[in-house]
A and B are shown apart, each in its own frame.
Chain A
Amino acid sequence: MTAAIKVSSVSKRFGPVLAVDDISFTVETGSTTALLGGNGAGKTTTLSMLLGLLLPSSGAIAILGEDMVRHRYRVLPRLNFSSPYVELPLRLTVRQNLTVYGHLYGVAQLGHRIAELAEELELADFIDRPAGKLSAGQKTRVGLAKALLNKPDLLMLDEPTASLDPDTADWVRSYFQDYRDRTGATIVLASHNMTEVERMCDHVLIMKQGRIVDQGSPAELIGRFGRDTLEEVFLDIARDRRKAAES
């Protein structure tokens, strides 16, 4: 497998604060990888650097084979992003939003693609309603439609099921698993939901104080720490209890 993402010795400093401290990792093509960590661990900063929203203070980031600092516009048409914390224009209808973003991404046969996504993501009932008048679940589905418009090779998700009810959250997870299986896309997600990560991810990067303190598959991490769930592993790391190291 080739690496969809290759991060080499990347640091990010905001004045006196070292938000990300010399991290290196690779994300294999076609995998689903989670960035885990407590608040302030550096997940959002790392995700922002992967997206090119934030320039690293040092180090190199290659996305889909391109240098993200120097050639991000070669990569951006092939990736997409969804976050419950970044809105789409609220006064535009769902269809208008998707039309604007479809043009920005150069989506061919845009009307057909929007209709396809409307059916897959069950948007038909509210596709001509302003985005500001949607429920949280509907907004999430619209955010997903925007993120999938260009059929991205790399999808970055920031807390994809935050504030969703369990039924909708389960539907969203299933959708992403299915999308990856169908297209071979790579998915990177930042999440606080350990059950979600255990279910969806092949690989987990655990961050603390700006550094990657452990990584592996969910099963490997659970085994290494002698725990039953990823949540227990997360708590061990957050509270500096390394069962594996002790044994």
Chain B
Amino acid sequence: MTLFLSLRRVGAMCLRHLYILKGSWPRILEMAYWPAINMVVWGFTSQFFATNSTWVAQAGGVLIGAVILWDVMFRGNLGVALSFLEEMWSRNLGHLSVSPLRPAELVASMLCMSLVRTVIGVLPAAFLAIPLYHFSIFELGLPLLAFWASLMVSGWAIGLGVSALVLRFGLGAESLAWVLIFAIAPLAGIYYPISTLPVWLQPLAWALPPAHVFEGMRSLMLGHGFRADLLVSALALNALYLAAGVAVFLWVWHGARIRGALLNVGE
């Protein structure tokens, strides 16, 4: 398979999804709704802990920051999966499959749209936290970009896996787009250090990139400095998982051409 990608075709697929977004304000609202709701709920929880826990009191924004960054990963996953599900729902995969669009270009467009959806979804919540809780995640500075990128790539890897499962098993598997990512949430150390987990679970947690990111975020916010080692390990693991996600998607796509599934998928 050639690695050549046409930016024009990737752009065309992004345009297809931007048209949908442009014409549907409920979708834009929905993207921003859950992160904002999550942030509000957890913000209040954080405020409560700040007056009742010495641990959280050291950095009142830790929980709010964790919620916002978790949503980056969740939106990253959903952004990929929804772009693919849109094609399944509209029974459009047959037309796309006989167009010059290559599977790798379809993947690239899904990742681009995930970035767009994540920015639309998470930024309003991040800004809302400033007047509500006097917490600005932007004060993390440049490491925020690294955390954001790392978590979004983790979301991409899961989103590609979900898309592959939907292509393989049909739309009956679509709920995985929302559910699967929560399976790793307890291991990701979003709201607590990995050392809180039972010892036997900790190696599994460290095998996941978000564990390194959230540990790094806490280190920074609790005044222990930026942990470059955690970021490097997160990026390395992400590269591995993303490569696996792309490979699985392309492998399932190839399998769909053997099974004849590309023409007959839909609701």
List A residues at the B interface (Cβ < 8 Å): 14, 44-45, 48, 51-55, 73, 76-77, 79-81, 83, 85-93, 96, 99-106, 130, 146
- With beta carbons under 8 angstroms apart, the residue of A14, A86, A93, A130 that contacts B91 is A86
Is the Cβ of B98 less than 8 Å from the Cβ of A51?
Answer: yes
Is the Cβ of B102 less than 8 Å from the Cβ of A92?
Answer: no
B8 at the interface (CB under 8 A from A): yes
Nearest A residue to B260 by beta-carbon distance?
Answer: A54
Q: Report chain A residues within 8 Å CB of B95.
A: 81, 86, 88, 101, 146
Q: Report chain B residues within 8 Å CB of A81.
A: 94-95, 98
Interface-facing stretch out of B11-19, B58-66, B131-139, B181-189 = B11-19
B144 to chain A, nearest CB (A): 34
Is the Cβ of A88 less than 8 Å from the Cβ of B90?
Answer: yes
A154 to chain B, nearest CB (A): 11
Q: Report chain A residues within 8 Å CB of B259.
A: 14
| 8 Å CB interface, B84-102 against A | 86-87, 90-92, 94-102
17 additional A-B residue pairs with CB within 8 Å, beyond A53-B97, A54-B260, A101-B99: A53-B98, A53-B262, A54-B258, A54-B262, A54-B263, A73-B2, A76-B100, A80-B98, A86-B94, A87-B266, A88-B90, A90-B90, A92-B16, A92-B20, A96-B16, A106-B100, A146-B95
B23 at the interface (CB under 8 A from A): yes
Q: A53-B263, A79-B98, A103-B15 are in contact. Are A89 and B257 (CB under 8 A)?
A: no
5 pairs from A and B in contact (CB 8 Å cutoff): A86-B92, A90-B90, A91-B24, A100-B16, A106-B100
| 8 Å CB interface, B165-215 against A | none
B227 at the interface (CB under 8 A from A): no
Nearest A residue to B266 by beta-carbon distance?
Answer: A87
Q: Report chain A residues within 8 Å CB of B101.
A: 104
Q: CA A183 – CA B2 in complex, angstroms?
A: 32
A144 to chain B, nearest CB (A): 13
Is the Cβ of B94 less than 8 Å from the Cβ of A53?
Answer: yes
Is the Cβ of A100 less than 8 Å from the Cβ of B100?
Answer: no
Q: Report chain B residues within 8 Å CB of A83.
A: 94
Is the Cβ of A45 less than 8 Å from the Cβ of B260?
Answer: yes
Q: CA A104 – CA B11 in complex, angstroms?
A: 9
Nearest A residue to B2 by beta-carbon distance?
Answer: A73
Q: Report chain B residues within 8 Å CB of A130.
A: 23
Is the Cβ of B13 less than 8 Å from the Cβ of A100?
Answer: yes
Q: Report chain B residues within 8 Å CB of A88.
A: 90, 92, 95
Nearest B residue to A90 by beta-carbon distance?
Answer: B90
Is the Cβ of B99 less than 8 Å from the Cβ of A104?
Answer: yes
Q: CA A103 – CA B2 in complex, angstroms?
A: 20
Q: Report chain B residues within 8 Å CB of A100.
A: 12-13, 15-16, 19
Q: Report chain B residues within 8 Å CB of A45.
A: 260
Q: Report chain B residues within 8 Å CB of A102.
A: 12
Q: CA A14 – CA B260 in complex, angstroms?
A: 9
Q: CA A123 – CA B8 in complex, angstroms?
A: 26
Q: CA A24 – CA B262 in complex, angstroms?
A: 24
Is the Cβ of B86 less than 8 Å from the Cβ of A104?
Answer: no
Q: Report chain A residues within 8 Å CB of B266.
A: 87
